[in-house]
Amino acid sequence: MKRQSNHLYDQWRRGVYRRDKGNCQMPGCTHRAYNAHHIIRWSDDYSKRFEVDNGISLCYNHHHEVTGKETHYVKLFMEIVHAKG
């Protein structure tokens, strides 16, 4: 990742954590989040890479659970993010 991309990624990640108050957003989970996860995968839509609304905070276990199966979670995660306003 280039220096500019690193800065934008860091801003994106901090924005996602701030919005989600550092907590995992998987329904029913009470763990702290350690991963900012792209809802629409990084490689699938360049224009959404640094949009905070295309990210969701997940704990380690839930991040591992959804990785590789992102398309199954898009609707759920978008509903969670949009409910935050």
d(CA 74, CA 8): 22
* pLDDT tens per residue, range 6-29: 899 999 999 999 999 999 999 999
What's residue 27's pLDDT?
A: 97
Q: Where are the domains of the chain?
A: 3-83
What's residue 85's pLDDT?
A: 77
d(CA 52, CA 72): 20
Tokens of 61: 């276990």
Q: Is 90 exceeded by the pLDDT of residue 54?
A: yes
Percent of the chain with pLDDT over 70: 95
- From 59, 45, 52, select the one nearest 78 (Cα to Cα): 52
Q: Which residues contact 42 (CB under 8 A, 6 or more apart)?
A: 49
Residue 42 confidence class, pLDDT cut points 50, 70, 90 = confident
d(CA 49, CA 38): 7
